[in-house]
A and B are shown apart, each in its own frame.
Chain A
Amino acid sequence: MRIGFILVSVILVDNFVLSKFLGICPFLGVSKKFSSAIGMSGAVTFVMALSAAATWPIYHFLLAPNDLGYLRTLTFILIIAMLVQIVEILLKRFIPALYSALGVYLPLITTNCAVLGVTLLNITEDYSFIESVVNAAGGGIGFGIALIMFSGVREKLETCNLPKAFRGMPAVLIAASIVSLSFAGFAGLAEGIFGSIGG
């Protein structure tokens, strides 16, 4: 039940991009084309789940028992940076097909605040290991949904005849505002489905 609650709320209700403002840079940067949006969201979901799985045991078995909790930002960002490099090397060697699809997006993920954000949130929310991984994977899926939907909006926006001042970034931001407003319609959905146990 609680897992389902976390999954629904992180994908739809508290969407990482549209309501928590995590990962805005790739959201605005890589949403120009549908195909690159899919590649980016695949890579982000993968790295987010993996880094949540890697940082949780390090925090709970290494940092917290030794009273080093305040070092978590520093430790987590290094773990994520290292993980991204390792994933890149492994994919290149063993799954070249996946590497050619996700490869270019991987280096950009180190500085994606959604990845560091989710690992830190898992600690402050006191999630268990399974819940952390579900939260991270769900966050990645939510990021993907927002990115892919938004790339559709942007492809239409390209052909519009906009006032000169709104061309480029202003129009993109206002379109993002409307997409974000539509996601606000999901408020209360998770409580509706699962009751208020998760709260």
Chain B
Amino acid sequence: MNKALKTVKNGIFDENPTLKLFLGMCPSLAVTTSASNAIGMGLATTAVLICSNAVISSLRRVIPKEVRLPAYIVIVAGFVTAVSLLMEAYLPALYKSLGLFLSLIVVNCIILGRAEMFASKNTVFLSVCDGLGMGLGFTSSLLLISSVREILGSLSWFGISLAGEGSGMLFFIVPAGGFFVLGMISAVINRITKYRISKVKPGCKSCPAANVCGGNCEEEAKA
């Protein structure tokens, strides 16, 4: 049980996918204009992450090593389709505002990265815990970014107006504001954790394409 709790905690704090490993950046910048969008995106990703981790982990002895990436992609895409159909039926407003990014959960590096790094090596129960931890870590960082952006940009939180009059600073709602807020938040986290984070690099161990490219991309970047 201890190990399970540790795995969950690891995903939320030590290896927070967005704020520490800088994975899954596209959704964390695109859908964070309002807090409710961020929660919707975060929970959808968490659901896909838990389900795909569970299935991949239970099939880890069945899937041949050579074709594991296409197999993982099919499993993940299946769950993404299921989640987006459910959301279209029960939460049509959220489905509309997340739009394209709901389908793009398939190519979110967090999910394939966890499948490759964790689910393919661990038991089903631990993989589910890992999915839960990583998903909650992702959701909480989305919530943090979107709260800053929504409060400063439209003077509201979860759609509830905070200031009555006034329209907020447009800068925080436009794309440039997304980059800016994420940059500021990661600088603050750097400061709080006394610069330990900058040493944590996503590197090849979290990249689903690592076994194909064999670290060539990193080498290329260094050269």
Quick one: which of A107, A167, A171 contacts B212, CB cutoff 8 A? A107
Question: Are B209 and A173 interface neighbours, CB within 8 A?
Answer: no
Question: Are A165 and B191 interface neighbours, CB within 8 A?
Answer: yes
Asked whether B186 is an interface residue with its Cβ less than 8 Å from the other chain, the reply is: yes
Question: Are B191 and A111 interface neighbours, CB within 8 A?
Answer: no
Asked whether A24 is an interface residue with its Cβ less than 8 Å from the other chain, the reply is: yes
Quick one: which of A36, A110, A174 contacts B179, CB cutoff 8 A? A174
Number of B interface residues at 8 Å Cβ cutoff, please give it.
Answer: 52
Q: B220: which A residues are within 8 A, CB to CB?
A: 33, 36, 39, 104
Complexed CA–CA distance, A197 and B124 (Å)? 55
A-facing mask of B69-104, CB < 8 A → 1, else 0?
110011001101100110000000000000010011
Question: Are B73 and A81 interface neighbours, CB within 8 A?
Answer: yes
**A19-B175, A107-B209, A108-B209 known; A73 vs B26 contact (CB < 8 Å):** no
Complexed CA–CA distance, A180 and B100 (Å)? 21
Question: Which of A1-9, A51-59, A114-122, A137-145 lies at the interface with chain B?
Answer: A114-122
Question: Are A116 and B106 interface neighbours, CB within 8 A?
Answer: yes
Question: Are B187 and A113 interface neighbours, CB within 8 A?
Answer: no
B-facing mask of A155-192, CB < 8 A → 1, else 0?
00000000011111111111011101100100000000
Q: How far is the CB of B46 from chain A (nearest CB, A)?
A: 18
Q: Within B178-201, which residues are at the interface with A (CB < 8 Å)? A: 178-180, 182-184, 186-188, 190-191, 195, 198
Question: Are B74 and A78 interface neighbours, CB within 8 A?
Answer: yes
Quick one: which of A120, A167, A174 contacts B103, CB cutoff 8 A? A120
A-B pairs with beta carbons under 8 A, tally: 146
Question: Are A74 and B81 interface neighbours, CB within 8 A?
Answer: yes
Asked whether A11 is an interface residue with its Cβ less than 8 Å from the other chain, the reply is: no
Asked whether A28 is an interface residue with its Cβ less than 8 Å from the other chain, the reply is: yes
Q: How far is the CB of B133 from chain A (nearest CB, A)?
A: 21
A-B contact pairs, 19 of them (CB 8 A): A21-B27, A23-B26, A28-B25, A33-B221, A73-B81, A77-B73, A78-B70, A81-B70, A81-B73, A105-B217, A107-B213, A116-B104, A170-B187, A171-B183, A173-B179, A177-B178, A180-B174, A181-B176, A184-B174
Excluding A74-B77, A104-B217, A164-B195, 6 further A-B contacts by CB distance (< 8 Å) are: A78-B77, A104-B213, A113-B104, A165-B191, A176-B179, A176-B183
B contacts, CB < 8 Å to A: 22-23, 25-27, 29-30, 69-70, 73-74, 77-78, 80-81, 84-85, 100, 103-104, 106-109, 112, 174-180, 182-184, 186-188, 190-191, 195, 198, 207-209, 212-213, 216-217, 220-221, 223
A contacts, CB < 8 Å to B: 18-25, 28-30, 32-33, 36, 39, 70-71, 73-74, 77-78, 81, 104-105, 107-108, 110-113, 116-117, 120-121, 124, 164-174, 176-178, 180-181, 184
